[in-house]
Structure 1
């Protein structure tokens, strides 16, 4: 990659680290705009980049689900089904990256449809916009991850996945990137730093990371 291109990528990742530093424990402003993550779209220069990011994030979602208690709006049986789908999706994403053949794509489409069915059809009109109230945030993230494999707008869904993973709400800050978002924001930045530079954030931006 040309040096100019590397510098542009490094600058995008650096801005996320700077945002994480800004959102310190004594931060008193409003939430930072979640649109700061839109630069992920430009980092997804091809489908492979988006798919590797999607797999990386899906593994984190799987780990979160395994460590979590059954959500209040979910029965124990439903929760087991959700975790099983996440586990199968991760395995299928790995298979697709190793062998991107139509059969593996078809299996991901099947999982996508299962998730759509499990999320229900609770659609409401709010301020002129139709909003889908889903049953599971875990499955919503997984849905976006699968879309990175099966839909042509892979860069858009990579952004949606990162947004859903990092966005938080608190009355004090509003909705967007808040102090609670910092660990998740750094996880996203870490992936792209490793992907493009094969370096950790600590090695790539030692001065910035020393502020963490």
Structure 2
């Protein structure tokens, strides 16, 4: 009993340190995460992630995304099912730190099984579809670190890390040089898993139209 109490106490401390809120220890463990980073307008997204299929399991993670994009590089458990409400745009990854195979989910609804997603252990929510925004990712297939633009930028200081792109909304032109110079490509709402898919070797500046 003493060992069990110690383990439970240790878990409780870890949850406090990582910013999660735990419910009554006698019921399902409920974690809460509220996005508090860069604003892009109220989208009213709520996602409930479950540790078991069919919306059961010992653990739940509630993500309330109001006016920020959200990232969690390591979920407190492997996701097995999810409910999404409102305008959500999620990418789930099979490895921590947004690595491994990426799975895009952006339609509100109930998903009783994530079997086809493998082991979902990290996740990020992007601005909702239709937002005038473009997202750059460090690795191909939308992995690694990311940067979000809502307006034109004549020099992307992180350009050397850009390997894939998602255009959330609007029309964008990306350039190989700074201050909108050199080779240019016009991009529309679409997924670009590699820079070669758009005929570019690098993106140094981007303009919103």
Sort the TM-score into its range (normalised by shorter chain).
under 0.3
Return the structure number with greater strand share: 2
Greater relative CO (CA pairs within 8 A, separation 6+): 1
Report the TM-score when normalising by structure 1. Answer: 0.24
Report the TM-score when normalising by structure 2. Answer: 0.24
Return the structure number with greater helix share: 1
Say which one has the larger Rg. 2
